[in-house]
Amino acid sequence: MDKAITVAALTVAYGAATALSAIDLEIPKGKVTVLAGPNGCGKSTLLRAIRRLHQPKSGEVRLGDLPISGLKEKELARHIGLLAQNPSAPDDMSVEELVRLGRYPHQSMLQPWSAADGEAIQAAMFGTGVSHLADRRLGSLSGGQLQRVWIAMVLAQETDIICLDEPVNHLDMAHQIDCLDLVRRLNQEHGRTVVLVLHDLNLAARYADRLVFLKDGSVVAEGAPAELMSEELIEDVFGISCRVITDPVHERPLCIPIRNSSPRFRADTAA
């Protein structure tokens, strides 16, 4: 298995609090890897550390064989694209203007604009189905449209690796599926390596080639969804007793939560 990113003994701390402790992980090339776990488990922190938004306390992240700590800001941005958890841009910015920003890491004082930039923008807007919105102001778009435009911006960056931090958080169910189908298409048709943070376990199981469970800042388990989605493991990681069945449509594991089984929760309800 070819690896796109290697995380080696990575420890990240916020002040005194350790957010990630000694994480070892390989992100396979050309696959969709989903980081999942309960709130506060460190999944977003791990994604951000992979994109060098956090300075590790120890350990490192390597892109292929290269430690990312040695890359320049724009160089890194040509390799790894990032869709932030709550991205924001001015309401009066046009769709095309935002997508153009994806070309920023490819431009410099000496190379201000090239035909490749124009092609990448057109392709990104076409690929995400927002070409017809090009002249619209961001403030006039619906949540689902806006998320597609942001993905178009990341796509225009033409990176081999795309990181998305909870991209479907504030979308309704139809748009969640729409957005994640789009992400999977980018993976399958364009061969992009995708790293996703999702907290919805069933969406994670449905879209992941490889699933990584985190708990309290450590990787608890990783593997294909079918291997990982056992009732015991889910209870251990998410603190929920559940049944796991096979989704009859997609033939992926599907978790049916029964009740919260974490000791703290039980103490709360008893009192």
List interacting residues with other proteins (CB under 8 A): 48, 51, 53, 73-78, 81-90, 92-94, 96-97, 101-102, 104-105, 107, 109, 112-113, 115, 117-118, 134-135, 153-154, 157
Q: How far apart are CA 94 and CA 139, in angstroms?
A: 9
Q: In whole angstroms, how close is the CB of 103 to other proteins at the nearest point?
A: 8
Give the up-direction half-sphere exposure of residue 191: CA atoms within 13 A in the CB hemisphere.
Answer: 4
CA–chain centroid gap for 179, Å, is 12
- The answer to whether the CB of 51 falls within 8 A of the CB of 213 is no
Which residue shows structure tokens 């992979």? 50
CB of 260 to other proteins, least distance (A): 32
What H or E segment, with its residue span, contains residue 17?
Answer: strand 17-28
What length does the chain have?
271
Q: Report the residue number, 93 or 224, with the smaller CB distance to other proteins.
A: 93
Residues pairing with 157 in the sheet: none
Please state, in angstroms and rounded to a whole number, the distance separating the CA atoms of residues 157 and 151.
Answer: 10
Q: Which is nearer to other proteins, 55 or 269 (CB)?
A: 55
Residue 84: CB minimum distance to other proteins, A: 4
Q: Strand pairing of 240-246 and 253-260?
A: antiparallel
CB of 83 to other proteins, least distance (A): 7
Q: Which is nearer to other proteins, 105 or 217 (CB)?
A: 105
> Smallest distance from the beta carbon of 25 to other proteins, in angstroms?
21
Nearer to other proteins, 15 or 112 (CB): 112
Which DSSP symbol is given to 198? Answer: -
